[in-house]
Amino acid sequence: MYEIGFVIVAIKATSKRPFYLVISFVLLLPMVGIWLFETYGRK
């Protein structure tokens, strides 16, 4: 579950520069989509 660590790093980064919130959000969307597909899509 490295996604949780990525979220924590992103949150710590946003406390310094809010611009990273947009980048991390755009990068996180496909990762969450793939994770959801891998978890619930294959039944």
Q: Is the dihedral of CA 25, 26, 27, 30 positive or negative?
A: positive
| Number of residues in the chain | 43
Say which amino acid occupies 4. I
The predicted pLDDT at position 3 comes to 73
Instruction: Give the per-residue pLDDT at 43.
Output: 63
Residue ranges covered by each domain of the chain: 2-40
As given in the structure block, the two tokens for residue 33 are 């989509």
Give the other-Cβ count within 10 Å of 23's Cβ: 13
Question: From CA 20, how far away is CA 37, in angstroms rounded?
Answer: 26
DSSP state of 1: -
pLDDT of amino acid 7 = 75
| Integer Cα distance of 23 and 27 in angstroms | 6
pLDDT tens column, 1-43:
677 777 777 777 666 677 777 787 888 888 888 888 888 887 6
Q: What pLDDT shows up at residue 16? A: 67
